[in-house]
């Protein structure tokens, strides 16, 4: 049977019932062409039927599927899989080339919508690859290590029939969303909890993670940022080695387990932010393999550079000035927001989205880059066209001018204050580093958007505050930061200051209970870290959790914490923050030194002020108020009770 002619004969009826397993962006012109591909290279070819997206599009109620692969300059592509007994020679499964020569497509009929089918593309009679747009893969080397409790009834790999990673497709994979009217938190009130599924729960499963949401609710965070969870190489990973961008990694569970987790988060008032890696891919990516030399390095690749353009690249770097890359990235972003209701993205290595080659020059890489700014404005505009309230968070670390320009477009950037935060909680301000935490405030960067900085003292890339306290903390007489109760108390003080400044904040998993396991040297950095839930049996760690929870909830519920009317002094041993608002005023003071200190605080008004952590009050009779603070002592005063 000639499937192509059959399709053309019944195209009108088919389009009425067509459903796609991929949601393609508006840049898809119907034939699936990447913008800019206009040269006619195959006048005898036939274009992809109108309305068909990239990857697999199901029609006829899932009984038929059209496969559509972008593969310019290839001589032949054959679809192989369960439906063809994995034959590489059956001409029935030879794919049709489009008129412009960039795409290969075929329709397969007689499918069972409730059955999974494994398949690959056999390119130029030499290379077998999975589908870059597939939503599930089978890996012959790693799937056997996934527990059946995490991913039950996993389809068996077609051993002896093919090699390499294979794709899986199925028409019917229903999920009914329970929470369809979730309102995302305003960025000015955003408190993000970054976590790695693998380490947060010992089962490394979405199901168990869902069971921990009561913990998140008690803590008070209103967003969870999941470290990369689309398919990555191996199982035991941080996820920054991606290969398939539309498939959730099976090591954490099924796609419906992931949807159920996101659904439950929305039901709990918590947004879900996807940490996504679009600076690079690793060698098992089909898009890398399709255009690579004998060593696996990209060669004349539509998506990737042969040589990276910046010094911190890993894997193979995307070329974000390529039309093919822009088209692919937008498809990825639309897919996760539409299919999984993701609330926003944290873009890993976002400063790497550049073709301005800085080689190994770290300083040059940070210089203002107009082309990089244009790339990010383009992506941001596209994301906002999907939903103007989606979060766009960049791991950028460029100059203030460049980040400020992106901030003015509504993008947020990570603000790494780990070094001054560590120095402050350890009690040091010496040649080893400054304890000035003024970077909590946007005005020091010259920004006009007060809610563009996602500030943090800890992230997955930094050492733990409490580990540094315990190993290297300062001391004077009997007072030692190395003592666990003392160190945890200083972590509380750090939290009081971090959450009191305006703008989004981020907590790295278990910082709220003083996690003190070292990140380790490079050879152990990525290894598993136990969650140590038993920490919550320690009264001092419980109190740290309580302070985090209090600060997070006060930040969310009191407008004064979003105020742009403020004063601060954060460079000395005694640090202060003053925030003024029509609804309330607050004064935060803390002694980060290791000896007692007497200081004068300037209050905006006299009268009775509430010490929110103790529940006591002070009587301010003069706008200048003198106070003596023991080492590690801190207070958050307010002119009226915090909610």
Please report whether residue 178 resides in a domain.
no
- Kindly state whether residues 458 and 504 are assigned to the same domain: yes
- Helices 484-500 and 539-557, axial angle in degrees (round to 10): 0
What residue numbers bound the domain in which 609 lies? Answer: 568-638
The predicted-structure confidence for 157-179, as pLDDT tens digits, reads as follows: 999 999 999 999 999 999 999 99
Q: Please report, for the domain that includes residue 592, its CATH number.
A: 2.60.40.1180
The predicted-structure confidence for 435-453, as pLDDT tens digits, reads as follows: 999 999 999 999 999 999 9
- Kindly state whether residues 489 and 582 are assigned to the same domain: no
Which of 247-252's residues contact partners 24+ apart within 8 Å by CB, and which partners? Answer: 247/134, 247/135, 247/136, 247/137, 248/135, 250/136, 250/137, 250/143, 250/146, 250/150, 250/151, 250/154, 251/146, 251/150, 251/151, 251/198, 251/204, 252/150, 252/197, 252/198, 252/204, 252/205, 252/206
What's the total number of domains in the chain?
A: 3
Q: Are strands 505-508 and 191-195 parallel, antiparallel or unpaired?
A: parallel
- Kindly state whether residues 70 and 15 are assigned to the same domain: yes
- Kindly state whether residues 212 and 251 are assigned to the same domain: yes
The predicted-structure confidence for 208-235, as pLDDT tens digits, reads as follows: 999 999 999 999 999 999 999 999 999 9
Which of the 8 DSSP states describes residue 187?
A: G
Q: Which of 123, 142, 169 delimits the end of a domain? A: 169
CA-based nearest residue to 631, from 452, 462, 473: 473
Strand partners, 611: 616, 637
The predicted-structure confidence for 381-406, as pLDDT tens digits, reads as follows: 999 999 999 999 999 999 999 999 99
- Kindly state whether residues 329 and 271 are assigned to the same domain: yes
Please report whether residue 177 resides in a domain.
no
The predicted-structure confidence for 275-300, as pLDDT tens digits, reads as follows: 999 999 999 999 999 999 999 999 99
- Kindly state whether residues 214 and 347 are assigned to the same domain: yes
- Kindly state whether residues 548 and 486 are assigned to the same domain: yes
Residues 121 and 76: their CA atoms lie apart, in Å, by 10
- Kindly state whether residues 276 and 360 are assigned to the same domain: yes
Binning pLDDT at 50, 70 and 90, where does residue 37 land?
low
Please report whether residue 179 resides in a domain.
no
pLDDT reported for residue 431: 76
pLDDT reported for residue 39: 54
Which of 362-365's residues contact partners 24+ apart within 8 Å by CB, and which partners? Answer: 362/311, 362/312, 365/310, 365/311, 365/312
Which residues, in sequence order, are CB contacts of 159 under 8 Å at separation 6+?
Answer: 140
Q: Please report, for the domain that includes residue 463, its CATH number.
A: 3.20.20.80
Concatenating the DSSP letter of every residue in 35-49 gives: TT------TT--PPP
Please report whether residue 182 resides in a domain.
no
- Kindly state whether residues 611 and 538 are assigned to the same domain: no
The answer to whether residues 27 and 325 touch, using CB atoms and an 8 Å cutoff, is no
- Using CB atoms within 10 Å of the CB of residue 363, give its burial: 0 to 12 exposed, 13 to 18 middle, 19+ buried: exposed
Q: Please report, for the domain that includes residue 133, its CATH number.
A: 2.60.40.10
- Secondary structure of the chain: what % helix, strand, coil (to 5)? 30, 20, 50
Please report whether residue 176 resides in a domain.
no
Q: Which of 531, 562, 593 delimits the end of a domain? A: 562
The predicted-structure confidence for 225-273, as pLDDT tens digits, reads as follows: 999 999 999 999 999 999 999 999 999 999 999 999 999 999 999 999 9
N-term to C-term CA, the chain: 71
Please report whether residue 643 resides in a domain.
no
Which residues, in sequence order, are CB contacts of 12 under 8 Å at separation 6+?
Answer: none
The H or E element containing residue 599 is strand 597-602
Concatenating the DSSP letter of every residue in 81-130 gives: EGGGTT-SS-GGGBPEEPTTSSEEEEEE-S--TTS-EEEEEEETTTEEE-
- Kindly state whether residues 122 and 208 are assigned to the same domain: no
- Kindly state whether residues 620 and 473 are assigned to the same domain: no
Please report whether residue 53 resides in a domain.
yes
Concatenating the DSSP letter of every residue in 620-639 gives: E-SSEEEEEE-TT-EEEEES
Cα dihedral sign for 624, 627, 633, 639?
negative
What percent of the chain is predicted at pLDDT more than 70? Answer: 94
The answer to whether residues 193 and 224 touch, using CB atoms and an 8 Å cutoff, is yes
CA-based nearest residue to 321, from 333, 343, 335, 305: 305
pLDDT reported for residue 4: 31
Sheet holding 607-611, edge to edge: 566-569, 574-580, 585-591, 634-638, 607-611, 616-620
Q: Which of 514, 545, 562 delimits the end of a domain? A: 562
Q: Are strands 475-476 and 453-456 parallel, antiparallel or unpaired?
A: unpaired
- Kindly state whether residues 544 and 579 are assigned to the same domain: no
Please report whether residue 110 resides in a domain.
yes
Binning pLDDT at 50, 70 and 90, where does residue 23 land?
very low
CA-based nearest residue to 458, from 426, 503, 419, 485: 419
């Amino acid at each position: 049977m000639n499937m192509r002619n059959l399709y053309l004969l019944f195209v009108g009826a088919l389009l009425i019932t067509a459903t796609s397993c991929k949601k393609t962006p508006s840049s898809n012109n119907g034939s699936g062409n990447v913008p800019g591909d206009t040269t006619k290279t195959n006048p005898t070819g036939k274009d992809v039927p109108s309305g068909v997206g990239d990857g697999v599009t199901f029609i006829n109620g899932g009984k038929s599927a059209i496969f559509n692969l972008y593969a310019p300059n290839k001589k032949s592509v054959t679809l192989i899989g369960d439906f063809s007994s994995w034959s590489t020679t059956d001409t029935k499964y030879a794919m049709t080339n489009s008129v412009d020569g960039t795409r290969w497509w075929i329709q397969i009929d007689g499918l069972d919508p409730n059955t999974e089918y494994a398949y690959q593309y056999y390119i130029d009679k030499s290379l077998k690859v999975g589908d870059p747009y597939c939503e599930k893969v089978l890996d012959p080397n790693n799937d056997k290590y996934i527990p059946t409790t995490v991913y039950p009834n996993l389809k068996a790999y077609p051993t002896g029939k093919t090699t390499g990673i294979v794709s899986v497709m199925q028409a019917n994979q229903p999920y009914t969303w329970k929470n369809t009217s979730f309102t995302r938190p305003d960025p000015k009130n955003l408190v993000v909890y970054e976590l790695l599924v693998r380490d947060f729960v010992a089962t490394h499963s979405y199901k168990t993670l869902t069971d921990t949401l009561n913990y998140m609710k008690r803590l008070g965070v209103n967003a969870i940022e999941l470290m990369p969870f689309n398919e990555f190489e191996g199982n035991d990973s941080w996820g920054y080695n991606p290969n398939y961008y539309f498939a959730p990694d099976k090591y954490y569970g099924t796609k419906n387990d992931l949807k159920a987790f996101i659904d439950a988060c929305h039901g709990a008032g918590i947004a879900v932010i996807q940490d996504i890696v679009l600076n690079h891919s690793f060698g098992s990516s089909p898009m890398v393999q399709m255009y690579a030399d004998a060593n696996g390095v990209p060669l004349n690749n539509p998506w990737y550079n042969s040589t990276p353009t910046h010094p911190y690249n890993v894997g193979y770097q995307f070329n974000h000035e390529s039309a093919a890359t822009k088209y692919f990235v937008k498809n990825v972003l639309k897919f996760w927001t539409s299919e999984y209701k993701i609330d926003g993205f944290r873009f890993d290595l976002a400063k790497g989205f550049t073709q301005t080659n800085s080689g190994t020059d770290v300083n040059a890489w940070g210089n203002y880059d107009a082309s990089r700014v244009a790339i990010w404005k383009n992506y941001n505009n596209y994301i906002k066209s999907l939903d103007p309230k989606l979060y766009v968070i960049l791991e950028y670390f460029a100059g203030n001018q460049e980040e400020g320009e992106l901030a003015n477009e509504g993008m947020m950037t990570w603000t790494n204050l780990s070094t001054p935060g560590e120095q402050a909680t350890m009690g040091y301000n010496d040649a080893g580093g400054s304890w000035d935490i003024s970077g909590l405030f946007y005005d020091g960067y010259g920004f006009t958007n007060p809610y563009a900085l996602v500030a943090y003292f800890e992230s997955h890339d930094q050492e733990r505050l409490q580990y540094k306290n315990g190993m290297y903390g300062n001391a004077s007489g009997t007072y030692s930061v190395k003592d666990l109760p003392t160190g945890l108390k200083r972590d509380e003080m750090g939290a009081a200051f971090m959450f009191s400044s305006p703008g989004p904040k981020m907590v790295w998993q278990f910082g709220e209970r003083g996690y003190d396991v070292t990140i380790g040297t490079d050879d152990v950095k990525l290894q598993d870290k136990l969650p140590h839930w038993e920490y919550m049996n320690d009264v001092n760690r419980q109190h740290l959790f309580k302070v985090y929870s209090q600060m997070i909830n006060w930040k969310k519920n009191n407008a004064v914490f979003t105020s742009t009317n403020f004063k601060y002094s954060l460079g000395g041993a005694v640090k202060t923050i003053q925030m003024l608002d029509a609804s309330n005023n607050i004064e935060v003071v803390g002694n980060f030194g290791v000896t007692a200190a007497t200081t004068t605080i300037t209050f905006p008004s006299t009268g009775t002020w509430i010490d929110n952590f103790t529940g006591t009050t002070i009587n301010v009779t003069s706008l200048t108020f003198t106070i003596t603070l023991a080492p590690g002592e801190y207070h958050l005063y307010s002119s009226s009770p915090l909610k």
